[in-house]
Amino acid sequence: MSSPSRSAYERALGARVAELHPVLRRYFAVIPPGAVGVGEGVFESFGTQRRWLWPVLAIAKRCGVIVPGLHREVPFRVENLTEDGRQTATRTMKFDDGDWSMRCRSSRAYPDPR
């Protein structure tokens, strides 16, 4: 598969992408095949203190969507890349009881036919 011609951000901005500072244009551009965009940090807090939601969120956790509970000082890592012409993001949180990852992949291969 070919690599994406435009990122989701570039498609959303359309011609206005040219108005961005060159550093931001590069940041929001497609990640070339073989390259990985990495971001790391620490969430001050992550989740919700609404305990009544935790059983529902436990189901969502098994589906790779969200983690129940309220967590403090959670280190995370985000990796964005292009695989088989699709944009992919993996977000990994480092909880006290182990790592948890959520993976998103664009629903279609690119280049964008528009």
Angle at 42 between CA 50 and CA 66, to 5 degrees: 40
Q: Which residue has the tokens 């108005």?
A: 19
Q: What local confidence, expressed as pLDDT, does residue 1 receive?
A: 47
Q: 28-65, pLDDT tens digit by residue?
A: 888 888 889 899 999 999 889 999 999 998 898 888 78
- Per the model's pLDDT, the better-predicted residue between 77 and 25 turns out to be 77
3-class DSSP state of 46: strand
Does the global pTM surpass 0.75? no
Q: DSSP of 81-100, one letter per residue?
A: EEETTEEEEEEEEEETTEEE
